[in-house]
Structure 1
């Protein structure tokens, strides 16, 4: 059952963090700054609630969406070639065989030791969604990181603004000051962490890579340099095509985590040579 994925300590931690950030930002900092009854307070609370709602929706999509199982009937389609290419053909088929699953795996698919199965276009296994990030939920994961980053930055701005405009009297308790400082530092650190993660996945999307392929590419480039050759990521089709292959051709649906009609079976991906 997909709902069983929510029975996880990491999932509970995410819910608790989101609840804490939302409550403190809206009902403590915005309320203390301008008041929720004012137009400025209501507007800020509405904007932040909208960001948190989008983040929560993307989170549910990430958790509940199967990243993409490899069909049990899948067999690699390797074209028959001449005798000179026979050894390379055998090596290609062997490299696509998963010894742990005892089945063949398509290009860009990898075996997840946590999920104990091969996942299409696997990026990584994420403990915070208790699920793999793969072909069918990568877009939802990206929008989750995007909305979480925007929400964290927004919360940080609210906390800092509230602290700067607050009239700190001499009789203010030390615990209140500690709470403000701790909250500001925590949200700034969270914003930096999520922002770094967002920048990393923007880079991967632009180059049509997964995290696994990036590190595989480092080794492949090193081996290519040793033999006096150059390495090119085979699935890099250009920035625009790379982006649309993940987010979809309709720019108006790029930030909708459930707009995935552009995804196919995830077994075949166009390469540079095919599009040159």
Structure 2
């Protein structure tokens, strides 16, 4: 694997896939079905071009944006009444400290073995962007996946229409090769669209519960341990569906699906369900 932010083979593969789908949709499927000179052809070409451009732009930001660095001077502040929760290690009960980075880890931060550093609110490391998905680029990553799903489904409709209207007896030069290319693209696009929809659904599920992928897997174990001890487990960052959405997508609902990223907070401190105004009680959460 290459260094985070650098162009790698998976990144080139994604860009090549976008280019291939765009070419087949705009230059083969639309002309075969609607024609490029018609109002319908021009409208669909313009709409799909804008959608493809949005996909490339958001993908580029997800690749290049730093997911969030832990401040070098970060130290947990027990006297901060606005942060009544701290994550501690399951073994020993010590504050989370990264031996490799030689600094304390804020809540929800984890060390990435690929990026070789701790990442704020780390969700996972994605080889397709050669970068971690974390506090600073999570929303833009999610918006990219959303746009990619819409573009894939849109392309599928146009490709199916183009394939159906490419009559076998069409004697125009190159008609057979165009029809074959349209069909091949449709076959390759089907599993890709399905995978993207599953990925989008997974992250929508996580956002609704205000969890990261890492926290989901940690929560499964925590829930099992709690049930074993006769207790109930509650994810401490679950603030309710609306507040969970706001914490990731931003306070302006009209901008939730826009290709912009206005992060809530600094990624070092997060609201929790344990927050009690003017409380001097410190809660802890066990983590890895």
What TM-score comes out, normalization by structure 1 length? 0.89
For 2:18 and 2:276, how far apart are their aligned partners in 1? 43
Query: Is it true that 1:115 corresponds to 2:111 in the alignment?
Result: no
1:168 is displaced (CA, Å) by: 2.1
1:91 is displaced (CA, Å) by: 6.5
Equivalent residues in 2 for 1:5-154 (5 A)? 5-78=5-78, 94-154=94-154
Higher RCO structure (Cα 8 Å, ≥6 apart): 2
**What SS does the corresponding residue of 1:5 show, helix, strand or coil?**
coil
Q: Unaligned 5+ residue runs, structure 1?
A: 81-87
Look up the match of 2:266. Answer: 265
Change (3 A) 1:232 1:144: same
1:31 is displaced (CA, Å) by: 1.3
For 1:90 and 1:177, how far apart are their aligned partners in 2? 59
Cα deviation, 1:94-135, whole Å, max 9, x if unaligned, reads: 241112212110000000000000000000011111111000
Change (3 A) 1:12 1:235: same
Match of 1:247 among 246, 249, 256: 249
Look up the match of 1:222. Answer: 224
Aligned partners of 2:68 and 2:119 also within 8 Å: yes
Query: Is it true that 1:256 corresponds to 2:274 in the alignment?
Result: no
**What SS does the corresponding residue of 2:274 show, helix, strand or coil?**
helix
Look up the match of 2:159. Answer: 159
Q: Unaligned 5+ residue runs, structure 2?
A: 81-87, 278-288
Look up the match of 1:83. Answer: none
Aligned partners of 1:237 and 1:275 also within 8 Å: no
**What SS does the corresponding residue of 1:273 show, helix, strand or coil?**
coil
For 1:194 and 1:109, how far apart are their aligned partners in 2? 26
For 1:25 and 1:194, how far apart are their aligned partners in 2? 18
Alpha-carbon RMSD across the aligned residues, in angstroms, is 2.5
1:65 is displaced (CA, Å) by: 1.2
Q: Which moved more, 1:105-114 or 1:56-65?
A: 56-65
What TM-score comes out, normalization by structure 2 length? 0.85
**What SS does the corresponding residue of 1:169 show, helix, strand or coil?**
coil
Cα deviation, 1:128-180, whole Å, max 9, x if unaligned, reads: 11111000100000000000010011111111111123322298987655433
Look up the match of 1:85. Answer: none
Change (3 A) 1:111 1:226: same
**What SS does the corresponding residue of 1:274 show, helix, strand or coil?**
coil
1:61 is displaced (CA, Å) by: 1.3
Cα deviation, 1:36-76, whole Å, max 9, x if unaligned, reads: 11100011111111111111111111112111100111112
Look up the match of 1:185. Answer: 187
Cα deviation, 1:181-216, whole Å, max 9, x if unaligned, reads: 322121111110101100001111111000000000
